[in-house]
């Protein structure tokens, strides 16, 4: 009698376990109640971003080879993404030290930059390469890679180079944070731009020079 009761309990447990297990099929997840939850909008899966559109039959599928504007629910800002041939959005990456490397991709004959969150970049951005950090300039409206401006910015950028020429190219920062240090006359600055922070300091003669970007 005891063995029979144990067998019945195990059978019921197995049935319950099966009913609560989620099954992923073609972008849909089956819940414990048997109802289907259809994936919709921007979804992050295994470190990559995809965008699901709901079809007329109620199912959803990833979009491919397509631009998409997506509004962020938290920031209320709209960002632009491009989803490639496998459906994954183009995105930058991070190395083992957490340093960010942007992705520059050619789409429709033009080049665009994408950050680590797969968002298209506008304006100037910094990327860490094996040779050190590099600055890239993208059109502030379209996001198209600006080769000419990039060359000018890279020429102006460099450790202990005068900051004035670079600051003129970058324009007014969003915020400036003043600090102190042991370099030169002790005055140091952090200049905050949309995509990076420029670090500078003053020499003993009061000339502002470049330290680097963050």
Task: Give me the pLDDT at residue 41, please.
Answer: 92
Pair 147, 187 in one domain: no
Rounded CA separation 136/149 (Å): 8
Pair 148, 96 in one domain: yes
Quick: pLDDT tens for 46-80: 999 999 999 888 889 999 999 999 999 888 899 99
Quick: pLDDT tens for 100-138: 899 999 999 999 999 999 999 999 999 987 677 899 999
**Domain assignment present for 33:** no
**Domain assignment present for 193:** yes
- When pLDDT is averaged across residues 16-28 and rounded to a whole number, the result is 35
pTM of the model: 0.78
Judged against a pLDDT cut of 60, whether residue 11 lies above it is answered with no
Question: 28: burial class by Cβ within 10 Å (0-12, 13-18, 19+)?
Answer: middle
Last residue of a domain, one of 156, 181, 200: 156
Task: Give me the pLDDT at residue 27, please.
Answer: 42
User: Which domain CATH number covers 112?
Assistant: 2.10.270
Pair 169, 121 in one domain: no
Structural domain of 122: 90-156
Quick: pLDDT tens for 140-171: 999 999 999 999 999 999 999 999 999 999 99
CA 183 to each of CA 159, 186, 202: distance values in angstroms, whole numbers, following the listed order? 13, 5, 7
Last residue of a domain, one of 111, 134, 156: 156
Quick: pLDDT tens for 165-193: 999 999 999 999 999 999 999 999 999 99
Please spell the DSSP secondary structure of 121-189, one letter per residue.
P-EEEEEEETTEEEEEEE-TTT-BB-HHHHHHHHHH--TTSBHHHHHHHH-S-SEEEEEE-SSTTSEEE
**Domain assignment present for 70:** no
DSSP classification of residue 29: E
CB 151 within 8 A of CB 184: no
State how many domains the chain has: 2
Last residue of a domain, one of 121, 156, 191: 156
Closest by Cα among 75, 68, 77, 74 to 42: 68
């Amino acid at each position: 009698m005891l063995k029979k009761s144990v067998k019945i309990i195990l059978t019921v447990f197995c049935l319950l376990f099966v009913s609560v297990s989620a099954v992923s099929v073609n972008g849909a997840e089956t819940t414990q109640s048997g109802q289907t939850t259809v994936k919709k909008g921007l979804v992050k899966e295994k470190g990559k971003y995809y965008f699901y559109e709901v079809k007329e039959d109620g199912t959803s599928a990833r979009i491919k080879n397509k631009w998409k504007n997506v509004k962020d629910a938290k920031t209320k800002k709209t960002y632009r993404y491009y989803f490639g041939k496998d459906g994954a959005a183009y995105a930058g990456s991070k190395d083992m030290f957490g340093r960010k490397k942007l992705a520059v991709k050619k789409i429709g004959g033009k080049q665009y930059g994408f950050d680590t969150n797969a968002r298209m970049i506008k304006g100037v951005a910094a990327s860490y390469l094996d040779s050190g950090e590099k600055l890239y300039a993208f059109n502030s409206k379209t996001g198209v890679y600006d080769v000419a401006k990039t060359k000018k910015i890279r020429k102006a950028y460099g450790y202990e180079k005068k900051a004035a020429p670079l600051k003129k190219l970058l324009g007014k920062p969003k915020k400036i944070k003043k600090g102190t240090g042991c370099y030169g006359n002790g005055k140091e600055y952090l200049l905050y731009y949309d995509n990076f922070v420029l670090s500078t300091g003053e020499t003993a003669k009061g000339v502002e020079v470049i330290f680097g970007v963050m």
